[in-house]
Amino acid sequence: MKNAIRTYSQILQLRGETIHGLLQSDQGIAFAMKLFLIVSLIAGLGFWFGVPAALRTPTTVERFDQFVTEARETVAVAVAAAESAIATVQGEYEKAVATVTAEFERRFSGVTEMFNQLAARFGGAQAQLDQLLARTSATVAEVEATVARVKPTPEQMDRLLRIAKATEPETERLLALAGITPSEIAAARQDAQAQADAAMAELQPMLDRLDMTRAQFDAILTQLSATPEQVNNWIASLSTTPEWVGDLLAAISATPDRLNELAAQIREELVKMEPPLGERPSRIVRLGGQWVASPLHYAADWMLFVLALLVVAKSVGGKATLTQHLGAVALSAAPAVLFLFAYAPDMTNVLPLPTAAAIHYTGRILAFVGVVWCSVLLLKTVSVAHGMGMWKSAGVLVLTWIALYVLLPLATLFASGFLLG
């Protein structure tokens, strides 16, 4: 152990005789490979700085639960605020409408009455009847005045009686004035009911999708002042079907129970997706895998450069064999222990901000020192292995860098252009 530490110290000091002695024997090259492995693992210990964050970071299920809780709170606050605002606005709106209506009637009631008289005189009886049928309410006197001028059909008379909410004596008087018998009104109502039933039969798939009863749908139609036939016409104008409309409305009008059921199903699927050991233990295992694989990652990042360096060194008279060359490169990684903190992840969410920042910048400074130290040591080991001076070794490194990062991309670009052209 003492001899290994002494040899490691001499390598860090760029002792040429120590490096030469190691590269001349199989045991020395094996020592270089072991040194590379140990140094890489020590540097990779920085991965374990991520353990506190791995333990504290919520799991996917926990994040989903937090999202659902926050969503419920947000919806509750929004609904409360909306209800308060609606109540306030509605009160102010009703007050303003009442004030404006009273003022309008006071100022323009005479003008309005004059226009109504002109419309009744010059607009024609049929126009007056059509205008009355389009309304949602009317007085018995208005119906009586209209019926006295134009004779409505039984269907139109039934509509007029409904919007006027005529009593039985008023109905008898109006029917006598229109020349329509009660049996004709009954037949008209029967036909209207048959048409409504047929329209409701077409709309039934939509009601089934929405779990809505006929009474609930009739209440909605009353609020909209619409009929089932009009709803069918609206759906037909959209070039779609009641089933599709029902599916769409069911999707966008989910009840709280449905939303809770959906959230429970999603959470159940997320639980099934968790690793067998649990998400947090799996994170620790993953960190261990990254640490064990750190020498392989380090070697993979530099393997192409190392082989290109061998080719360039051989082309200018280098004497090292492949094993000696690889041993020299492995020895140059001795200062890589300074990369320890460079592998540490962001600690902002785990440690206080000043401490996390200190670790971050200290790691970057030490990593920079390690890179410079490794580069200088690589010059020394390559020069010793290939039997060349330091300046020539530096030239070999520069040529290798130019070949990999300048000439090779240009050659690839020209070759691609030639093949595609």
What is the per-residue pLDDT across 31-88, written as a single tens digit (0 to 9) for each? 999 999 999 999 888 888 888 888 888 888 888 888 888 877 776 776 677 667 656 6
- Phi, then psi, of 393 in degrees rounded to 5: -60, -40
309 and 233 in a single domain? The answer is: no
285 and 248 in a single domain? The answer is: no
Q: Across residues 169-185, what is the average pLDDT? A: 83
Q: Across residues 114-131, what is the average pLDDT? A: 58
89 and 216 in a single domain? The answer is: yes
Q: From CA 337, how far away is CA 301, in angstroms rounded?
A: 17
pLDDT at 335: 93
pLDDT at 75: 67
315 and 228 in a single domain? The answer is: no
**Cα pseudo-dihedral 70, 72, 73, 77, rounded to 10:** 140
Quick check: 205 pLDDT over 90? no
Q: From CA 113, how far away is CA 50, in angstroms rounded?
A: 84
Quick check: 225 pLDDT over 70? no
How many percent of the chain have pLDDT more than 70?
83
Domain boundary among 232, 261, 290: 261
167 and 149 in a single domain? The answer is: yes
Question: Please, what's the b/e burial string for 400-410 (b: 16 or more CB within 10 A of its CB; e: otherwise)?
Answer: beebeeeeeee
175 and 257 in a single domain? The answer is: yes
pLDDT at 278: 84
Within 13 A of 361's CA, how many CA atoms are on the CB side? 5
Domain boundary among 261, 293, 309: 261
Quick check: 350 pLDDT over 60? yes
Q: From CA 41, how far away is CA 33, in angstroms rounded?
A: 12
> Which amino acid type is present at position 268?
E
Q: From CA 34, how far away is CA 412, in angstroms rounded?
A: 37
What are the tokens at 152?
């409505």
162 and 55 in a single domain? The answer is: no
Quick check: 113 pLDDT over 60? no
Tell me which residue range forms the domain holding 385.
2-59+279-414
The answer to whether position 303 is within a domain reads: yes
Residue 213 region by backbone torsions, left for phi larger than 0, else alpha for psi between -120 and 50, else beta: beta
Q: From CA 337, how far away is CA 121, in angstroms rounded?
A: 104
Per the model's pLDDT, the better-predicted residue between 243 and 112 turns out to be: 243
Contact 242, 210 (CB under 8 A): no
Q: From CA 367, how far away is CA 238, in angstroms rounded?
A: 66
pLDDT at 118: 47
**Cα pseudo-dihedral 77, 79, 84, 86, rounded to 10:** 150
17 and 46 in a single domain? The answer is: yes
The answer to whether position 268 is within a domain reads: no
Determine whether 354 is exposed, middle or buried from the number of CB atoms within 10 Å of its CB (0-12, 13-18, 19+).
Answer: exposed
Q: What is the pTM of this model?
A: 0.54
291 and 215 in a single domain? The answer is: no
Q: From CA 347, how far away is CA 39, in angstroms rounded?
A: 24
Question: Please, what's the b/e burial string for 285-309 (b: 16 or more CB within 10 A of its CB; e: otherwise)?
Answer: eebeebbeebbeebbeeeeebbebb
Quick check: 372 pLDDT over 60? yes
302 and 326 in a single domain? The answer is: yes
Angle between helices 214-224 and 182-210 (to 10 degrees): 110
410 and 297 in a single domain? The answer is: yes
pLDDT at 116: 52
pLDDT at 124: 61
pLDDT at 77: 74
Q: Across residues 98-108, what is the average pLDDT? A: 61
Domain boundary among 199, 233, 261: 261
Give the pLDDT band (50/70/90) at residue 329.
very high
Give the pLDDT band (50/70/90) at residue 381.
very high
Quick check: 172 pLDDT over 60? yes
Q: From CA 125, how far away is CA 143, in angstroms rounded?
A: 12
311 and 378 in a single domain? The answer is: yes
Number of domains in the chain: 2
pLDDT at 122: 44
Lowest mean pLDDT among 75-79, 135-139, 281-285: 75-79
The answer to whether position 124 is within a domain reads: yes
Average pLDDT over the chain reads 80
**Of residues 296, 295, 326, 294, the one with CA closest to residue 310:** 326
Determine whether 314 is exposed, middle or buried from the number of CB atoms within 10 Å of its CB (0-12, 13-18, 19+).
Answer: middle
Q: From CA 43, how far away is CA 358, in angstroms rounded?
A: 18
Lowest mean pLDDT among 176-180, 187-191, 227-231, 403-407: 227-231
The answer to whether position 327 is within a domain reads: yes
The answer to whether position 274 is within a domain reads: no
